Structure formats: C-alpha cells, structure tokens
Structure 1
Amino acid sequence: MYKRVLLAYDGSIEGRSALREGALLAKHCEARVFLLSIVAETAGVRLAESVYAGVIAKEGEVYQGILDEGAERLKQLGLSAVAALEFGEPAPTIAGFARRVEADLVVVGHRHRGALERWWTGSTSAHLLDLVECSLLIAKDTSADQGLQAKTPVGRS
C-alpha cells in the first residue's frame, strides 16, 4: 500500500497524534519513514529577525530538539526515520519535501481553530490538499496524547 510515508512533526499534542498514527500505519505497511520539522519563516518571523537578529537561528535550535524527540519516539516504536529540519512556510515546505522524497502519504495533525483564526492565518492542512501530489492523512484523535504538553507555541505547524 504505502511505501514512503512523510510525518510532519511540530511537537504539539496534535503533532504527537499524527506521529503516532502515521508511525503505526507505516509500520503496518512496512514503509520507509521520513520525519520533517519546519521552522516557519512567516512574515512575522522575518520581521522579528529584522529587529532581533538570531530569532530564526534560535527557532532552528528549538525545532532541532523537537525533531530529535520525534525521531526518538519513532525509534521506541521500532522505526528508523530519515529526519530533516527545513525552513519556510509550512504547507509549501511539506509539499516540496514530499515531492523530493517521493512520499505516497503525508501525515499531519489537526489543530481546531476558530473561524477568525482560520480566516486570518489560513489552514495548513487545507492548503496542503492543493499542494501535495499524494495521499494526505490528517490525524485528529488526540485522546492518547492529551496529557502531553505542546512544545511549540500555538499556531505553529
């Protein structure tokens, strides 16, 4: 079925759910696993970088820790993943990485947002539907991960 699975991971509760669901599916399919964390380079982050040099580098350090933690979680599930840290807008970065690794499934988490927030920031998951050339699994079941604290600020994907 699936041979190359890309897990987009940000350390949030929703991201942990996506990691768990994607990992179990990849294990069942005996698929090769790719783990991706993204340092979002949004307009706000670029503005902060212009005022406070080093903001993006600091975010890179934080997300490298998140990526390492995700790789360790996969290892505990008996999977070894090709892990990558990328910089950019989340949806296009995920889609571009999926194309490069020839993923046939992308797994992301879903964070419920109000109408105003969706209007203002858009939806990474919805945007991905238009950008990826493979199947997309949006994990919503966070029940097994509710006790875990998010490592990233709300609004990051």
Structure 2
Amino acid sequence: MYRRIVLAYDSTKAGRAALREGALLAKRCGAKVFLLSVLAESGGLALAEGAHVGAAHGHLEAYRAVLDEGLRKLEMLGLDSTGALVRGEPAQQIGDYARKVRADLVVVGHRKRSLLERWWSGANGAYIVDNLDCSLLVARSDISDQDFEAEFSKAAQHVNA
C-alpha cells in the first residue's frame, strides 16, 4: 500500500516515535524511506545569526548529526533510506519534500503544547494536512526499545516469509 514514506525526524521523543512507527510500517510494506530533518527558521535563529555570523551553521551541523544518526538506525534495520536536511518553516518544508519525492505517506511526531505555545506557533498541524497530497500518520505511540525490536523482528519475518 505505501511504497514511499517520508519520516519527519529530530532527536525529540516525538521524532523518535515517528522514526519507530514509520520504520515498522516501511518494513511491513517494503517501502523506501525518506528521512527529513527541518531546521526551523525562527526569530531566535535569525537573532543569533545577526549577532554572530555563522551561528546558523552550528545549528545545521547539529541537525545533520541527528539526521545521520537516524539514517544509521534505518540502515541497521535493513531499510532502503535516503536523508535530507532543509531549512525553513517545518510544515511547508515537509509538504514540499513529500511532493518532491512523490511520497504516499508522511509520518510526523506529536508533542502536546500549551495553549500559549499553540497561540504563538499557529496551526502547523492543520497546515501539514491541508498541503499534503498523500496520507499523514501522526505517531503517538511510545514504543520501548525492547518492544520496538520485537515488533521489527516480527515484521521482518513476515516480509521474508
């Protein structure tokens, strides 16, 4: 059913949930995985760059390390994966990247935010849904390492059978 899956990934708990749920689904479907990390353009990043030229470069390097870590995990699981690091507004970048790679599913993590955070940040979730040409899975399961390995082994056996 799903052949090309975009996983929006960062090192947060929500990002790890997206990676795990997406990896399990990709294994079960035999899908190619596109791992995407987005360095959000924020006021704080712009101020840092204005005060110290090259400040954004340090953030990019940190995000690159997180992306590389995710790609290593996917490789260890035997998944066919490609990674990309982009800068910009996350919801827009995720939608643009999904169209670029012709994804049929995007997997994102979710973290609960306070009313004030939602008010300041806007409706990014609604924006992602409205601007995707494919299905969206919001990963909310907190899968332990042990449970993930067991589920992944079952999925691998099912695929190989």
Tell me the TM-score range normalised by the shorter chain: 0.7 to 0.9
User: Is it true that 1:14 corresponds to 2:11 in the alignment?
Assistant: no
Distance in 2, Cα, partners of 1:7 & 1:32: 11
Partner of 2:25: 25
Partner in structure 2 of residue 66 of structure 1: 66
Task: Quote the Cα distance in structure 1 between the aligned partners of 2:142 and 2:29.
Answer: 22
Which stretch of structure 1 is more off in the superposition, 71-80 or 131-140? 71-80
TM-aligned CA deviation for residue 116 of structure 1: 1.1
Amino acid at match of 1:120: W
Q: Which runs of no fewer than 5 residues in structure 2 stay unpaired?
A: 146-161
Deviations 1:57-80 (A, max 9, x none): 111100000000000111122213
Q: How far does residue 123 in structure 1 lie from its aligned partner after superposition?
A: 4.4
Partners of 2:105 and 2:137 within 8 A in 1: yes
Structure 1 residues 25-44: aligned runs within 5 Å: 25-44=25-44
Query: Partners in 1 of 2:111 and 2:144 — Cα distance?
Result: 15
- Structure 1 segments (4+ residues) deviating >4 Å: none
Gaps of 5+ in 1: 146-157
| Residue type at the aligned position of 2:109 | G
For residues 61 and 123 of structure 1, the distance between their equivalents in structure 2, rounded to whole angstroms, comes to 28
Deviation per residue, 1:90-119 (Å, 9 max, x gap)? 110110000000001000000110111111
Which region of structure 1 is more displaced relative to structure 2, 132-141 or 121-130? Answer: 121-130
Distance in 2 of aligned mates of 1:91 and 1:99:
13
Structure possessing the higher radius of gyration over alpha carbons: 2
Amino acid at match of 1:13: K
Q: Mapping of 1:44-59 within 5 angstroms? A: 44-59=44-59
| Kept in 2: contact 1:49–1:55 (CA 8 A) | yes
2:72 maps to 1:78: no
Question: Contact 1:125 / 1:138 at 8 angstroms: preserved in 2?
Answer: no
**2-structure distance, mates of 1:91, 1:137:** 14
Equivalent residues of 1:8, 1:107 under 8 A apart = yes
Is contact 2:20–2:143 with CA below 8 Å preserved after alignment?
no
TM-score (normalised: structure 1): 0.87
Q: 1:152 is matched with which residue?
A: none
What is the aligned-residue RMSD (CA, Å)?
1.3
Q: CA deviation at 1:128?
A: 0.6
SS in 2 for 1:38: strand
